[in-house]
Amino acid sequence: MQRLTILGSTGSIGTSTLDVVARHPEKFQIIALTANHQVELLFRQCKQFNPRYAVMLNEDAAAQLRRMVSEAGLITEVLNGAAALEQVAVLPEVETVMAAIVGAAGLQPTLAAARAGKKILLANKETLVMAGNVFMDAVRASGSVLLPIDSEHNAIFQSLPHGYDGDLAGNGVRRILLTASGGPFRDMPLCELHNVTPEQACAHPNWVMGRKISVDSATMMNKGLEVIEAHWLFNASADDIQVVVHPQSVVHSLVEYVDGSVMAQLGNPDMRTPIAYGLAYPERIDSGVAPLDLFKVATMNFFAPDFARFPCVSLAYQALRSAGTAPAVLNAANEVAVAAFLDKQIPFLSIPSVIEAVLDALPVKAVGCLDDVLSADAEARRAAQQQIQRLAK
């Protein structure tokens, strides 16, 4: 029986994880669930899975959930606040932590789990983007098992040699091919992008995701962040990672070897596949995902990314090459800009403009510890807010 904490259980990754867990009650037990503000959904999850702990980041939401849990006679203890997220990530009875909190809020509890030597199913991009060296040092020091859950990185993990040791050349790998759907605006005329709405940006053609991640897909910043993730996960340089636009989202990523072989992982665009792989690794279990029908797919297309249309990808490569605090600055500026777009404070095309201005304004500093990352994150958020205020005038 594998005992789990799910950080971010009410998001798309969290709910998909619980769907897989529910299919295998003999294999998995939920110890803790966490959410930001979705009280009703977390309450329903508590009723179904009877966790020992439930954490709400918001204090008022926690008080409401506590009343509901008490009235229902559940055994679940309700906690609240950022410290409680770290508490349930390091519980001694928990073996596995699904890190699925979106954004910088997921960094510290995920890092705590790494330091505690947990098996980490990593779906939070920002942990590696913001603090890749700090996080990977913690994983190595504790002996934590790290399994990527992003569909692309999970596909790369499956396509690399078993027991891959971080040496691309030594394992005969020429490069990593990171696929991208191109999002909802792949074919939209450039002149129309300025007027797109948050609703349009959140309508992904292939994947069901949260609003922030959906906007990242529309700008292709999600792919830029994944390039930085791939660097840390697989010890790959910026030149070792190529983005490939693949609209069907059937090939989830590929690994090209020096002998001309290209290994790929294919499947329907459903996050339950990589989640099930991570939960059961090194075994495989039923995920509930329908088998891939190649006859129905019929045709698969691949294109080079349009960097003029998607400048966020170039900005991410720039931040990776700059190293130090640059990726944390990139991520923070993006989070602030995306939130402003979703609140209709800035137009869609201003998202990369804000990010580029912040990257240009702030000096790159070395990262020696988590405080360096958090300081850069805070400074970048202030700079991004200033840029947005200028645009609003």
pLDDT of 323-369, one tens digit each?
999 999 999 999 999 999 999 999 999 999 999 999 999 999 999 99
Residue 195 and residue 290 share a domain: yes
One-letter identity of residue 247: P
**191 lies in some domain:** yes
Rounded Cα distance between 352 and 311, Å, is 7
How high is the pLDDT of residue 79?
Answer: 97
**305 lies in some domain:** no
Of residues 301, 30, 265, 292, the one with CA closest to residue 148: 265
Residue 207 and residue 285 share a domain: yes
Question: Is residue 393 over pLDDT 80?
Answer: no
Chain centroid to Cα 351, Å, comes to 19
Rounded Cα distance between 50 and 74, Å, is 7
- Count of domains forming the chain: 3
At 4, the pLDDT band (50, 70, 90 cuts) reads very high
How high is the pLDDT of residue 201?
Answer: 79
Residue 110 and residue 15 share a domain: yes
Rounded to the nearest 5°, which phi and psi values hold at 124? -90, 110
Determine the average pLDDT of the residues in 188-213: 77
How high is the pLDDT of residue 291?
Answer: 96
Residue 52 and residue 144 share a domain: yes
Evaluate whether 176 touches 234 at the Cβ level (below 8 Å).
yes
Residue ending a domain, choose from 108, 126, 148 = 148
**361 lies in some domain:** yes
Residue 253 and residue 189 share a domain: yes
Residue 7 and residue 131 share a domain: yes
Determine the average pLDDT of the residues in 232-254: 96
Residue 144 and residue 60 share a domain: yes
Residue 352 domain boundaries: 323-392
Residue 373 and residue 286 share a domain: no
Rounded Cα distance between 151 and 1, Å, is 25
Contacts of residue 333, Cβ cutoff 8 Å, sequence gap at least 6: 354, 355, 358, 359, 380, 381, 383, 384
The CATH number of residue 56's host domain is 3.40.50.720
How high is the pLDDT of residue 195?
Answer: 85
The CATH number of residue 333's host domain is 1.10.1740.10
Residue ending a domain, choose from 148, 163, 187 = 148
Question: Is residue 208 over pLDDT 70?
Answer: no
Question: Is residue 225 over pLDDT 90?
Answer: yes
**72 lies in some domain:** yes
At 209, the pLDDT band (50, 70, 90 cuts) reads low
Residue 56 and residue 173 share a domain: no
Mean residue pLDDT of the chain comes to 94
Evaluate whether 159 touches 175 at the Cβ level (below 8 Å).
no
- Over residues 91-102, the pLDDT tens digits come to 999 999 999 998
> What b/e string do you get for 4-43 counting C-beta neighbours within 10 Å, with b at 16 or more?
bbbbbbbbbbbbbbbbbbeeeeeebbbbbbbbbebbebbb
Determine the average pLDDT of the residues in 244-271: 96
**309 lies in some domain:** no
- Over residues 278-335, the pLDDT tens digits come to 999 999 999 999 999 999 999 999 999 999 889 999 999 999 999 999 999 999 999 9
For residue 169, the tally of other CB atoms under 10 A from its CB is: 9
Residue 58 and residue 35 share a domain: yes
Residue ending a domain, choose from 100, 126, 148 = 148
Residue 375 and residue 266 share a domain: no
Question: Is residue 199 over pLDDT 90?
Answer: no
**12 lies in some domain:** yes
**Residue 109 CA: distances (Å) to CA of 81, 234, 340:** 11, 22, 26
- Over residues 11-38, the pLDDT tens digits come to 999 999 999 999 999 999 999 999 998 9
Question: Is residue 392 over pLDDT 80?
Answer: no
Of residues 146, 135, 164, the one with CA closest to residue 255: 164
At 160, the pLDDT band (50, 70, 90 cuts) reads very high
Rounded Cα distance between 92 and 69, Å, is 24
Residue 134 and residue 10 share a domain: yes
**304 lies in some domain:** no
Rounded Cα distance between 167 and 93, Å, is 34
**Residue 70 CA: distances (Å) to CA of 1, 77, 362:** 28, 9, 49
Enter the tokens of residue 282: 């090194």
Of residues 215, 192, 193, 196, the one with CA closest to residue 204: 215
**24 lies in some domain:** yes
